[in-house]
């Protein structure tokens, strides 16, 4: 499972880098903001999940 996910992430990164290179500097800024936003969302989901788990264990 983990290996497959990391491989997908690697290929996705390569595709994104190609798109960034083709789009140019302005496009790069937009993609960068979008990626950082997605990372923030992922972290929020993980935090929420861990909090939910803690609440379950407490009750």
Note the pLDDT tens digit of each residue in 5-49.
Answer: 566 666 777 777 776 666 676 666 777 778 888 888 888 888 777
For the chain, the domain total comes to 1
User: Which residue has better confidence, 15 or 4?
Assistant: 15
Tell me, rounded to whole angstroms, the distance of Cα 1 from its chain centroid.
Answer: 17
CA distance 28 to 58: 45
Give me the domain span that covers residue 47: 2-58
Residue 21 pLDDT:
66
Model confidence, pTM: 0.36
């Amino acid at each position: 499972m983990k290996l497959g996910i990391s491989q997908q992430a690697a290929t996705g990164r390569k595709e994104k880098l190609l798109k960034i290179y083709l789009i140019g500097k302005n496009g790069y800024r937009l993609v960068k903001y979008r990626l950082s936003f997605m990372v923030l969302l992922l972290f929020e989901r993980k935090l929420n999940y861990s909090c939910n788990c803690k609440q379950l264990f407490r009750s």
